[in-house]
Amino acid sequence: MTRTGHRRRPARRAVTLALLSLVLVGALVAFWGWRGAPTAAGPDTAAPTSAPPSAVTSAPSVAEVTGPARAAPEPDVAARTSTPEATAAPATATPTPAPAEMTADPQEGPVHVTITRGEMVLVDAPVGLTQLNDRDELNPPPGVVGWYGPPQWSTVPGDLSTYPGVLAGHTSYDGVRDVFHRLGEVRAGDVVVIRYADGQEASFDVDADALSVPKNEVTEKAGTDYAWVWSLDEPGRTVSLFSCDLAQGLDVTGHSLNNWVVQATRTT
Assess whether 225 and 136 both reside in one domain: yes
| Same domain? 30 vs 77 | no
pLDDT at residue 226 is higher than 80: yes
Q: Is residue 51 part of a domain?
A: no
Q: Is 73 exposed, middle or buried (0-12, 13-18, 19+ CB in 10 A)?
A: middle
Taking only the tens place, the pLDDT of each residue in 1-46 is: 444 444 455 545 554 455 555 445 454 444 444 444 333 333 333 3
DSSP code string of 140-189: PPTTSEEEE-TTT----TTSSBSS-EEEE--SEETTEE-TTTTGGG--TT
Average of per-residue pLDDT across 86-107: 43
For residue 158, give the amino acid letter. Answer: G
**Structural domain includes residue 218:** yes
For 19, the domain range is 1-36
Same domain, 70 and 136: yes
Residues paired with 259 in a beta bridge: 213, 244
The structural domain count of the chain equals: 2
Q: Which residues pair with 123 in a beta bridge?
A: 115
* 45 in a structural domain: no
> Once rounded to an integer, what is the mean pLDDT over residues 43-63?
32
pLDDT band at 84 (very low <50, low <70, confident <90, very high): very low
Question: 141 and 10, same structural domain?
Answer: no
| d(C-alpha 113, C-alpha 122), whole Å | 10
Task: Please state whether the peptide bond connecting residue 235 to the residue before it is cis, i.e. omega within 30 degrees of 0.
Answer: no
126 and 203 share a domain?
yes
Quote the pLDDT of residue 1. 47
Span 84-89, average pLDDT: 32
Q: Is residue 202 part of a domain?
A: yes
pLDDT at site 233: 94
78 and 151 belong to one structural domain? yes
- In this structure, the answer to whether residues 28 and 138 fall within a common structural domain is no
CA proximity to 180, closest of 189, 193, 190, 167? 167
